[in-house]
Structure 1
Amino acid sequence: MRGTDAAKRFQDTVLPCLDDAYTLARYLTRSPSDADDLVQEAFARALRYFDGFSGGDPRPWLLAILRNCFYAWLRARRAQQGEPMPDPEEVSEITTDPWGHAPEDPEAMLIRIDEATGVRTLVEALPEPFREVLVLREMSDLSYQQIAEVTEVPIGTVMSRLARARLLIKRAWLERQAEEAR
């Protein structure tokens, strides 16, 4: 009975953070299938060590576990010296309107796909420290303090990395727009 209670408590506490975990994993790995594997590993570790969870908001705790899983995965991948092929699921993911509206016409849909792809590409091109704080803040809506806990850096570093990430995205976006205008 005790295991059932712990599993229920884990499910009620940590499972609602699944979307945030997947979002971070997706941007860190740059691959939907690798993100799935990473989230699965992070949740398995979180369940295994759930007794060590001290309460409060479970997102920083879970995302810190996910981040640690990512760096372990990255070290293993670099040891193999292999780069993944692009995942065909990536294109189909961006064809869904995030607000549930049907595209007005094919041209509008192509423009939206192009912009979504462009933003995703810019975010994915950021160096890892900038990319992870941007995703944690803008997509997972974590506070600066929570991001500092997840990334294990001072809050000032979080603020600096976030400002730098936003500046890099802005510059890259403006360069892209200027190139398209030519």
Structure 2
Amino acid sequence: MTSSDRQAARKRDDGERVRRFQALALPHLDAAYNLARWLSGNSADAEDIVQEAFMRALRFFDSFEGDSARPWLLAIVRRTWYSEWRRRASSHEVVQFDEELDDTPIDGWGTAPEDPQTLMIREQDTRLVHEALAELPVEFREVLILRELEDLSYREIAAVTELPIGTVMSRIARARRKFAAIVTSREPQRRAEHVRTTDGQQERPDGM
């Protein structure tokens, strides 16, 4: 095989590798952006994080094993964000992310029973959910996003966050309770806004 033949074969292999990566990773682009957006707190940082994460994912694509690239890709998004978070924390720009949050692991793993906090998350309107999630410490926010909005299993969340499954379950339970407390505290304001809106509609002249 000549040098030009080897180069052509290498290009074909690289092209096939990129096509396979795109086929497996691109369907999860929205999930990657959503996670980055909730972790970073703004869209500009989220776009940078996702771009960097996808570049890293392509670079290390040969190490990927399994059928679903989603948890693997989200783990890279999280690590990419976490690297930037630590850099900013060292500059005192943000509060330090507590990777070793004191969670009491739940023995065993699998599907936890539904609880009132879980139902509350799913029944609230989008605006209130987003406001409450934004108030959560990021350690709790990320697991709730992955579980309730991205619908990942406990096993997948453990893979993304690199935490034991028991710790993941415990952290999600605590996150749900904190979320419920925030929503409950906002209920009086929400009811008052609803009353003002309703009263305003009733006072409109006919035909308006």
Bigger relative contact order, structure 1 or 2, given CA contacts below 8 A and separation 6+?
1
Amino acid at match of 1:62: L
Give the Å deviation of 1:117. Answer: 3.8
Out of 35, 49, 61, the residue aligned to residue 72 of structure 2 is 61
Aligned to 1:97: none
- Distance between the aligned counterparts of 2:67 and 2:78, measured in 1? 19
Equivalent in the alignment of 2:151 = 141
Residue of structure 1 aligned with 2:36, choices 21, 25, 31:
25
Indicate conservation of the 8 Å contact 1:20/1:139, yes or no.
no
Corresponding residue of 1:38: 49
What residue is the counterpart of 1:10 in the other structure?
A: 21
Hey, what does 2:184 align to over in structure 1?
174
Instruction: Give the structure 1 partner of residue 165 of structure 2.
Output: 155
Look up the match of 1:47: 58
Tell me the residue number matched to 1:90: none
- Asked if structure 2 preserves the Cα contact closer than 8 Å seen for 1:21 and 1:63, the reply is yes
Shift of 1:164: 1.2
Aligned length: 151
- Which of these two proteins has the greater Rg computed from alpha carbons? 2
Determine if contact 1:60/1:147 at 8 Å carries over to the other structure.
yes
Instruction: Trace 1:86-165 onto structure 2 (pairs within 5 A).
Output: 116-165=126-175
Q: Which amino acid aligns with 2:165?
A: I
What CA RMSD, in Å, does the superposition of the two structures yield over aligned residues?
A: 1.6
Q: Give unmatched runs, 5+ long, in structure 2.
A: 1-11, 95-124, 193-208
Output the TM-score relative to the length of structure 2.
0.68
Q: Quick one: distance in 1 between partners of 2:93 and 2:142?
A: 22
When normalised by structure 1's length, the TM-score is 0.77
Q: Partners of 2:191 and 2:72 in 1: how far apart?
A: 45
Q: CA 1:7–1:176 in structure 2 vs 1: closer, same or farther (change >3 Å)?
A: same
Cα shift at 1:180: 4.7
CA distance in 1, matches of 2:15, 2:50: 22
Matched residues in 2 for 1:176 and 1:8: separation? 48
Partner of residue 98, structure 2: none
Residue-by-residue CA offset, 1:102-133 (whole Å, 9 max, x unaligned): xxxxxxxxxxxxx5443212112211221111
Larger displacement relative to structure 2 (71-80 or 2-11):
71-80
**Cα distance in 1, alignment partners of residues 165 and 182 from structure 2:** 26
Distance 1:54 1:121, change over 3 A: same
Unaligned runs of 5+ in 1: 84-114
TM-superposed deviation, 1:56: 1.9
Q: Check 1:180–1:12 CA distance in 2 against 1; reply closer, same or farther (3 A cut).
A: closer
CA contact (8 A) 1:144 1:158 kept: yes
Structure 2: how far apart are the matches of 1:9 and 1:181?
Answer: 51
The residue aligned with 1:94 is: none
Matched, 1:75 2:108: no
Matched residues in 2 for 1:73 and 1:4: separation?
Answer: 31
